[in-house]
């Protein structure tokens, strides 16, 4: 909401229609497509874009090619505009007048076995602010578009455009086919897994080949779309995987066994949000997440 105020209330010449028009251009990739989507004429869309650029004093879109391209300033403004418009839509949503939900996004396992504790403690301390857990394949993208207020991020992906805080660490586990020899082990090493085909989910997963030493990385990698695809690939015997303790405790899947990794570094868990926070309770939730993960058994 603060972003919305900065963008729209700082100058009465800028209105929500300017944000909608700009984001339509970004989504469609052309003035013509944006005009068609908004039921406007091309000159009106071009004029609106020009008004925004003159107001900001920067070029937002490179018009030198047939397919419009965002400038660096345009990319930054697109993120801010998406969050601002989402906040404005929420402000005018009659369904949200009684309460302003706080949206926490995650890609795989929320807080694992501590998810119920998070929900109960939040509800007890903040009964007037409902907490919604939302799953996205790409939580960073959802956050920058304004679809989330706060995101849980596992691994080393730390977006520079967001406010990011480390809240804890989790042990890593191997996910292996239940009928394989690996499933009966009390523990496994990265070296043992490197001999196998490794299933990786590039967008939402926390594992990359860089987890292994440079001279001992797996040679066979298979990409999967999401959690279910990853689990099914392993259950079928086509690959093994590496994941967090939260996944091993929350996702049971026929044919998949989770075994602790004895030599893998702990998996960092972070919370991220846009700056300034899109919801006044964001920092309170970050504090609670940190407290719950911090009170868990260390990896």
Q: Give the global pTM.
A: 0.68
The pLDDT value recorded for residue 9 is 41
pLDDT above 90: percentage of residues in the chain: 64
CATH topology of domain 99-169+268-294: D-Maltodextrin-Binding Protein; domain 2 (3.40.190)
Instruction: Encode 2-70 in three state secondary structure.
Output: HHHHHHHHCCCCCCHHHHHHHHHHHHHCCHHHHHHHHCCCHHHHHHHHHHHHHHHCCCCEECCCCCCEE
| Cα 55 to Cα 75: distance, rounded to the nearest angstrom | 16
The pLDDT value recorded for residue 79 is 85
Please report where in the chains the tokens 């997963």 appear, as a residue.
Answer: 205
Do 2-94 and 99-169+268-294 agree at the fold level?
no
Q: Which stretches of 126-257 are DSSP H helices?
A: 139-144, 190-194, 227-235, 245-250
Instruction: Say if residue 193 is exposed, middle or buried (CB neighbours under 10 Å; 0-12, 13-18, 19+).
Output: buried
Q: What is the pLDDT of residues 31-40, one digit of tens each?
A: 999 999 999 9
The pLDDT value recorded for residue 8 is 44
CATH number of the 172-265 domain: 3.40.190.10
| Domain assignments of the chain as residue spans, ordered by start | 2-94, 99-169+268-294, 172-265
Q: What is the mean pLDDT of the segment spanning 294-299?
A: 60
| Cα 7 to Cα 54: distance, rounded to the nearest angstrom | 14
Residue 176 in 3-state DSSP? Answer: strand
CA-based nearest residue to 152, from 112, 125, 120, 122 = 112
Tokens of 289: 């997440």
Q: What is the pLDDT of residues 118-139, one digit of tens each?
A: 999 999 999 989 999 999 999 9
CATH topology of domain 2-94: Arc Repressor Mutant, subunit A (1.10.10)
Indicate the pLDDT class of residue 7, thresholds 50, 70 and 90: very low
The pLDDT value recorded for residue 185 is 96
Q: Is residue 2 pLDDT above 50, yes or no?
A: no
CA-based nearest residue to 288, from 75, 137, 115 = 115
Q: Are the CB atoms for 60 and 52 separated by under 8 Å?
A: yes
Q: Are the CB atoms for 22 and 47 separated by under 8 Å?
A: no
Indicate the pLDDT class of residue 296, thresholds 50, 70 and 90: low
Q: What is the pLDDT of residues 169-214, one digit of tens each?
A: 999 999 999 999 999 999 999 999 999 999 999 988 899 999 999 9
Q: What is the mean pLDDT of the segment spanning 25-48?
A: 91
Q: What is the pLDDT of residues 225-270, one digit of tens each?
A: 989 999 999 999 999 999 999 998 888 899 999 999 999 999 999 9
The pLDDT value recorded for residue 95 is 61
Q: How far is CA 59 from CA 26, 63, 77, 121, 175, in A?
A: 14, 10, 11, 47, 49
């Amino acid at each position: 909401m603060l972003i919305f105020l900065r963008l729209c209330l700082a100058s009465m010449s800028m209105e929500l229609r300017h944000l909608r028009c700009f984001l339509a251009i970004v989504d469609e990739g052309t003035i013509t497509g944006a005009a068609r989507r908004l039921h406007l004429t091309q000159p009106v869309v071009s004029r609106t874009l020009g008004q925004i650029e003159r107001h900001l004093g920067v070029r937002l879109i490179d018009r030198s090619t047939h397919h419009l391209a965002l400038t660096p300033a345009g990319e930054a403004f697109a993120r801010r505009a998406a969050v601002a418009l989402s906040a404005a839509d929420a402000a005018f949503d009659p369904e949200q007048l009684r309460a302003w939900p706080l949206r926490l996004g995650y890609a795989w396992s929320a807080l694992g076995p501590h998810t119920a504790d998070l929900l109960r403690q939040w509800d007890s301390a903040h009964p007037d602010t409902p907490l919604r857990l939302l799953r996205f394949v790409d939580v960073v993208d959802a956050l920058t578009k304004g679809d989330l207020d706060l995101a849980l991020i596992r691994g080393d992906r730390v977006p520079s455009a967001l406010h990011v805080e480390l809240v804890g660490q989790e042990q890593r586990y191997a996910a292996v086919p239940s009928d394989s020899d690996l499933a009966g082990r009390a523990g496994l090493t990265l070296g043992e897994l490197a001999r196998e085909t490794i299933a990786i989910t590039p967008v939402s997963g926390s594992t990359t080949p860089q987890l292994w030493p440079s001279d001992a990385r797996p040679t066979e990698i298979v990409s999967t779309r999401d959690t279910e695809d990853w689990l099914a690939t392993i259950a079928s015997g086509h690959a093994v995987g590496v994941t967090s303790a939260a996944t091993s405790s929350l996702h049971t899947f026929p044919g998949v066994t989770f075994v602790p990794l004895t030599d893998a570094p702990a998996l960092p868990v972070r919370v991220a949000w846009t700056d300034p926070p899109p919801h006044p309770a964001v920092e309170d939730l970050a504090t609670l997440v940190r407290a719950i993960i911090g009170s868990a058994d260390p990896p």
